[in-house]
Structure 1
Amino acid sequence: MIKKFEDVTKFHGHECPGSAIGYKAAKIAAEKLNINPSEDEEIVAIVENDSCAVDSIQVVLSCTFGKGNLIFNDYGKGVYTIINRKENKAIRLSMKESFNPMKINPEFGSLKEKERNSSINNEEKKLLSKVTSEICNYIINMPDDEIFSIEEVKIDIPEKANIYKSIVCDKCGELTSEHRLKKYGKERVCIPCYESLKNK
């Protein structure tokens, strides 16, 4: 059963167009791949941004960093690839250039700017909340192909997450996952210590 947008808002902390976009993407993926929230690593999400949308994918598909089935590629792109391991199927959703949530209600941009500048009054706060809800509802109910280009893709399915030993860094003494340690001379050090030693 697909979770409600209210569940996303509770997790994310507030309603916003970004979380509505992510909710829409996750819902499309769940329907097209015929999947339920991932108990373990049955579903993998590869996201190409670190926006509010990713929180929705975590909630709806249960893909998380902790389980190793949420992979972040820092490309700054509105692209989400969702993989069904069991069926060896994947779909890629890419936001269309023609889709612009700011055009749904032009008031949103100016009100958000006032909020950021701490110059928004109480009446404007109420209006912003109303406008935000309207935009989110509009996005969630839009035809899928007006927001995303959607295609089934062939992809090398990522390996399941490994569990590594934690080893003490020879420099700072803090526990570090074994596969993230680097060699510096005869020492095995964590990445921050390695960068510090290298730049001396």
Structure 2
Amino acid sequence: MPADSGFAFVVIQHLDAEHESVLAKIIQRSTAIETQTAAEGLEIEPDHIYVTPPGVSVTTEGQHFHVAKMAAMRSKRTPIDDFFTSLAQDQGEDAAGIILSGTGSDGTIGLRAIKEHGGLTLAQAGAEYDGMMRSAVQSGMIDMVLPAEEMATKLVGYFSHATRDESERDRRKRDVAEQLSR
């Protein structure tokens, strides 16, 4: 991904509250994009990568993070659904949800919210742990299944507003409505 794409990325992983995450540092070693841990009230800025801390549910409202302690029962923890749902409400058709490697079905409900608001949804082809990807694809809410290395090009192309006109936006909204009714 170009360091000046204008996008903000939020990386959500399933970690116990007691497990310390070093993911932000690992990502920072591989990119020129500024990487930091999401925190309560932090403004979400373009050209940044945010990693959610363990044991919390992170949502967004007004382009700021809100952090809440996660449910004690593991079966009730859905940090990806929580974030995607808030992202859909906050950013509408400017939202994108991407499911990478993982197990379970967390993220599938949030992808539906993103699609209902006209956003873009992607899933990783060839994921080592493909349970989340399969759940998302089976929901019918995925626009494209791609290898991770092809996603940056698709995101930049999709969100280049200079080449998108109103008729294309109207067509996308009709397509989403038809897909949701199916």
- TM-score w.r.t. structure 2 length? 0.24
* Normalised TM-score (structure 1): 0.23
Query: Which protein shows a greater Rg?
Result: 1
User: Which one has more relative contact order, counting CA pairs under 8 Å at least 6 apart?
Assistant: 1
